[in-house]
Amino acid sequence: MLNIEYQANIDEKYYKIIDSEFNKYADKNQIICNYIPFAFIAKEDSKFVGIITGNSYYKEIHISDLIVLEEYRKKHIGSKLVKAVEDYYKDKGFENINLTTYEFQAPEFYKKCGFEVEFIRKNEENQKLNKYFLVKYF
């Protein structure tokens, strides 16, 4: 009998299975998955002030999170973190950097960084939750 259960925290062994299965399926389709997480950390002196995280896979880079501590915002730290990702991956065979963000977060910031809106998923109940899908091609 099949049993399906909710788990808030996944054990590391399941992440290994996920990675293995993604790679096996990609290999069957003659695609190189090459899923690799990344993080770039901004520090002023030795104090943490911001981070950008994501993954590289297939032919693209996906930004997952960009956080700059509130007291360090408006100092171009976010744009420097985005540029660090661009500079690191620009000559490594990837085609684009993509991400999602909400209306209340940072669509205008990413546009200033050169990202283009591919799609906006509208939220009928709360416009602040309109979800932006953005891309920047190398």
Please tell me the predicted confidence (pLDDT) of residue 38.
97
> 3-class secondary structure for 11-55?
CHHHHHHHHHHHHHHHHHCCCCCCCEEEEEEEEECCEEEEEEEEE
pLDDT at 107 over 90: yes
Domains of the chain: 34-137 (3.40.630.30)
Please tell me the predicted confidence (pLDDT) of residue 91.
94
Residue 34 pLDDT class (50, 70, 90 cuts): confident
Please tell me the predicted confidence (pLDDT) of residue 100.
98
Amino acid at 91: D
Residue 77 and residue 43: Cα distance in Å, rounded?
A: 10
pLDDT at 26 over 90: yes
Residue 103 pLDDT class (50, 70, 90 cuts): very high
